[in-house]
Amino acid sequence: MRTQKLRSKKRSSPKNAFYAQSGGVSAVINASACGLIETARKYPDKIAKVYAGRHGIVGALTEDLIDTSLESRATIRGLRHTPGGAFGSARYKLASIDKNRAQYERLIEVFRAHDIGYFFYNGGNDSMDTAHKVSEIGVQLGYPIICIGIPKTVDNDLAVTDCCPGFGSVAKYIAVSTREAALDVLSMARTSTKVFVLEVMGRHAGWIAAAGGLAGEKTRDPPHIILFPEITFDRTRFLAKVEQSVENSGYCVVVVSEGVRTADGKFLAEAGTKDAFGHSQLGGVGPVVAQMTQDAFGYKFHWAVADYLQRSARHLASKVDVEQAYAVGKAAVELALQGKNAVMPVIVRRSSKPYRWSIGEAPLATVANQEKKLPRAFITADGFGITAACRRYLLPLIGGEDYPPYIRGMPAYVALKGRSVPRRLKQPFVV
Amino acid sequence: MRTQKLRSKKRSSPKNAFYAQSGGVSAVINASACGLIETARKYPDKIAKVYAGRHGIVGALTEDLIDTSLESRATIRGLRHTPGGAFGSARYKLASIDKNRAQYERLIEVFRAHDIGYFFYNGGNDSMDTAHKVSEIGVQLGYPIICIGIPKTVDNDLAVTDCCPGFGSVAKYIAVSTREAALDVLSMARTSTKVFVLEVMGRHAGWIAAAGGLAGEKTRDPPHIILFPEITFDRTRFLAKVEQSVENSGYCVVVVSEGVRTADGKFLAEAGTKDAFGHSQLGGVGPVVAQMTQDAFGYKFHWAVADYLQRSARHLASKVDVEQAYAVGKAAVELALQGKNAVMPVIVRRSSKPYRWSIGEAPLATVANQEKKLPRAFITADGFGITAACRRYLLPLIGGEDYPPYIRGMPAYVALKGRSVPRRLKQPFVV
């Protein structure tokens, strides 16, 4: 009797969960991890341990798992204010099931070996596709697993969700940095720099570039020009606008997306910037457009490329963004415990003014591989600015500050112990 | 009797003061203006009005003066948290008196026309030289004027003073940004970016680059490499160090000063980065060294150029820096009222741990045209890092946070009314 009870208890014992970060990281992806782990810890009868993939899905394939149960409460809490991907992320897209069935089978093999019943995948479009496929292959291989996507992308290009955790903080950073740099240029323009160019991320969608528009509030406020990937670059029109700004305001501030293209579809960054060895990776689009203004008018220019600074700037995170990042991590666990599968929590906007939002859900199939571009109605008729509708959309997302704690002048970001779960499989897997 | 009393009162009526911002601006130069104006307003019997040069000394030459007495107390107070140069700055170095005596005579003419008895000049090495010359020419032309320099430079290269207002905030920004970006790179390095390069300011002195070193605390912490203008760039040694970092840590973070030079004395930024038109202004040193690592090892890289973002980032100012900037503005007025002339208030370090400082003074002649480089003892033997002595020097300067107020997610920086003082001279002056 006693033995049988124990056995049946063992049989119904809670499954472990697997969590992985995917793709480019953000200032708040760890806040999602924090929300997920803190919530999972509240349900020990349903989720035993949360194992995280070291370097994302690569960690699952290579059976390189981090045992998050060995991390202290303080460390997990500290993830909320720590940028980057604390578990390691990966740019690693699984091929289609037809093309590389072995990868999917390996995933299931690892999950089976570690008694994993939940797959939480924190990423963008591609990752939602992967999470969707994993849920399908699990069923096919007789190992059903609950798969929940957790939205993350600084690019804000995920479908269905009103916005993506990670974007609000980049938006705030770019808006504030543009305002600050513009004050600098304004100071100097009489005798020195007339044109300042800030290059921002967003290879396919202009959301981050649009956020630069929040730096200004009145018509002639900087930035005077935003160059979006959604608008074909026209050198003549651009230069005319620069000249007009310098004549009207004495200076010109340009925010340019790395994804700006010319009429032939090529990235502007590739146009005429080869070094002595013929490489074209050198130099971004920022220096290219800055140089154009000097060639045309002789203006002295400066340019900045924010690159990783913009997406790791936890010191200037949007409070709304941090809260939403935490909320989608928490909701992922709650959805899983409700028995939902192949879904992703989404941010639903209830109202813009005052800003109200709640968490909804969307089937992964509706999110996977979609790409949400900046609507044309968010860009002014001349193609160089943002409209009032865009401003209404963006402004709530940069709302509030959420400063990390500081020790001796520096932010106290946490580092994990990152202890490995002992391997159970004999066969290694090469990725 | 009554008439005579009035007359004598008029004769001894307080003089006006002239204030100007000079050279590249900073996140805290306006805090110095705030300290100066708030202090001057406490002594209406000694200083009548503070007139500011619109765009620095250019405003004095062209008789384009801003009447700061028309700005509200709230606006002046708001200067303390507003980056850039609120009155406009100028890159405009007065020639030597022999070469361009007319400029100096014009200055005195404008000062005489506006009853200006105090000249406050907020800038770097060059500006201290100018302030010194103005005090001399005033005596020569029979218009004695009290000339006080106010230290400002993000480069931290002014002599005598222990540090320069403006530097602490850039240092904090670069240290924090390096730490944040390094967390990002660490996340991605397994499958993506292995080398990250951050280009920072400091054409002649490596103080700002050194501040990047504060991002790490233990031996293998990033940044793994700092490239200083004080150390001749050696491609072979640099690449060996990059390879070693990637092998040991999986990635490599490099902070590079824009002023790094090769053995032939040329800026590294000029080495082999010409665009299709043969221009060499394109691209900074950041992309150059990043590309080198790819050429040598095939590493995927990212690079950022902080440019004006670093020196305008008031959102992340050092509290110590803000306090010192305010203090030197205040001290400038106090020195003037003590009858001191041709001096500059300096920061005196009383102790590093705990950090204690006070305000001293130095004759302009000892500061003018000097340049304080990073001591060799602050750079590690291999030339790629900072020593414990450097850390002891730098750490107090980034101490404390001093956040600006925010409204709807954006910092509430102030703008001046900037009303002009009516012109009194008939002759225009062309600069």
Quick one: A140 and A198 in the same domain? Answer: no
Please indicate, yes or no, if residue B377 is contained in any of the structural domains: no
Nearest CA of chain B to the CA of A193: how many Å?
10
Which of A275, A292, A355, A392 would best serve as a mutation to test chain B binding (most B beta carbons within 10 A)?
A275
* pLDDT on residue A2: 46
Query: Is the per-residue pLDDT at A158 higher than 80?
Result: yes
Output b/e per residue, B119-138; b: 16+ Cβ within 10 A: bbbbbbbbbbbbbbbbbebb
| pLDDT, tens digit (0-9, with 9 covering 90-100), for A6-25 | 444 445 799 999 999 999 99
Quick one: B213 and B334 in the same domain? Answer: no
Query: Which residue segment(s) compose the domain that A271 sits in?
Result: 167-314
Residue B121, φ and ψ in degrees, nearest 5: -120, 115
Quick one: B56 and B177 in the same domain? Answer: no
Please tell me which residue in B64, B126, B129, B155 is annotated as part of the active site: B155
pTM for the predicted model, two decimal places: 0.95
Quick one: A76 and A135 in the same domain? Answer: yes
Please tell me which residue in A64, A126, A129, A155 is annotated as part of the active site: A155
Please indicate, yes or no, if residue A253 is contained in any of the structural domains: yes
User: Which residue carries 């899905």 as its tokens?
Assistant: A57
Closest residue of chain B to A281, computed from CA coordinates: B291
Please indicate, yes or no, if residue B48 is contained in any of the structural domains: yes
Chain A residues inside the 8 Å CB shell of B90 = 188, 190-192
Q: Are A222 and A230 in contact (CB under 8 A)?
A: no
Please indicate, yes or no, if residue B162 is contained in any of the structural domains: no
Quick one: B124 and B192 in the same domain? Answer: no
Quick one: A204 and A270 in the same domain? Answer: yes
* pLDDT on residue A51: 98
* pLDDT on residue A96: 84
- Asked about A155 being catalytic, the answer comes back as yes
Quick one: B262 and B249 in the same domain? Answer: yes
Contact A308 B288 (CB under 8 A): no
Q: DSSP of A279-324, one letter per residue?
A: -SSSS-HHHHHHHHHHHHH---EEEEE-THHHHH-GGG-BHHHHHH
Contact A406 B406 (CB under 8 A): no
Query: Is the per-residue pLDDT at A186 higher than 80?
Result: yes
CA quadruple A47, A50, A56, A62: dihedral positive or negative?
negative
Chain B residues inside the 8 Å CB shell of A192 = 90-91
Please indicate, yes or no, if residue A385 is contained in any of the structural domains: no
Please indicate, yes or no, if residue B422 is contained in any of the structural domains: no
User: Which residue carries 């790819």 as its tokens?
Assistant: B294
| pLDDT, tens digit (0-9, with 9 covering 90-100), for B78-112 | 999 999 999 999 998 888 888 888 999 999 999 99
* CA distances for B197 relative to A105, A138, A278, A306, B399, angstroms: 39, 42, 21, 11, 25
Please indicate, yes or no, if residue A74 is contained in any of the structural domains: yes
CA B61 from centroid of its chain's CA atoms: 23
pLDDT along chain B (431 residues), means of 10: 46 90 97 98 98 97 98 98 98 86 94 98 93 92 95 96 98 98 97 96 94 95 97 97 97 96 88 47 79 94 96 98 98 98 97 97 92 96 98 98 98 98 93 84
Contact A191 B305 (CB under 8 A): no
* pLDDT on residue B5: 47
Query: Is the per-residue pLDDT at A409 higher than 50?
Result: yes
Helix spans in A314-395 (H): 319-337, 364-367, 388-394
CATH number at B29 reads: 3.40.50.450
Please indicate, yes or no, if residue B391 is contained in any of the structural domains: no
Quick one: A189 and A286 in the same domain? Answer: yes
Query: Is the per-residue pLDDT at A209 higher than 60?
Result: yes
Contact A410 B181 (CB under 8 A): no
- The ipTM is 0.95
Contact A306 B302 (CB under 8 A): no
- Cross-chain CB nearest to B305 (options A190, A305, A413): A305
Token pair listed for A205: 């969608």
* pLDDT on residue A192: 93
Quick one: B29 and B41 in the same domain? Answer: yes
Average pLDDT value over all residues in chain A: 93
CATH number at A263 reads: 3.40.50.460
SS (H, E, C) chain B: CHHHHHHHHHHCCCEEEEEEECCCCCCCHHHHHHHHHHHHCCCCCCEEEEEEECCCHHHHHCCCEEEHHHCCHHHHHHHHHCCCCCCCCCCCCCCCCCCCHHHHHHHHHHHHHCCEEEEEEEECHHHHHHHHHHHHHHHHCCCCCEEEEEECCCCCCCCCCCCCCCHHHHHHHHHHHHHHHHHHHHHHCCCCCCEEEEEECCCCCCHHHHHHHHHCCCCCCCCCEEECCCCCCCHHHHHHHHHHHHHHHCCEEEEEECCCECCCCCEHHHCCCCCCCCCCCCCCHHHHHHHHHHHHHCCCEEEEECCHHHHHCHHHCEHHHHHHHHHHHHHHHHHHHCCCCCEEEEEEEEEECCEEEEEEEEEHHHHCCCCCCCCHHHECCCCCCECHHHHHHHHHHHCCECCCCEECCEECCCCCCCCECCCCCCCCCCC
Quick one: B329 and B268 in the same domain? Answer: no
Quick one: B184 and B216 in the same domain? Answer: yes
pLDDT bucket at A271, cuts 50 / 70 / 90: low
pLDDT bucket at A181, cuts 50 / 70 / 90: very high
* pLDDT on residue B14: 96
Quick one: B184 and B251 in the same domain? Answer: yes
| pLDDT, tens digit (0-9, with 9 covering 90-100), for A45-84 | 999 999 999 999 999 999 999 999 999 999 999 999 999 9
Number of domains in chain B: 2
Chain A residues inside the 8 Å CB shell of B430 = none
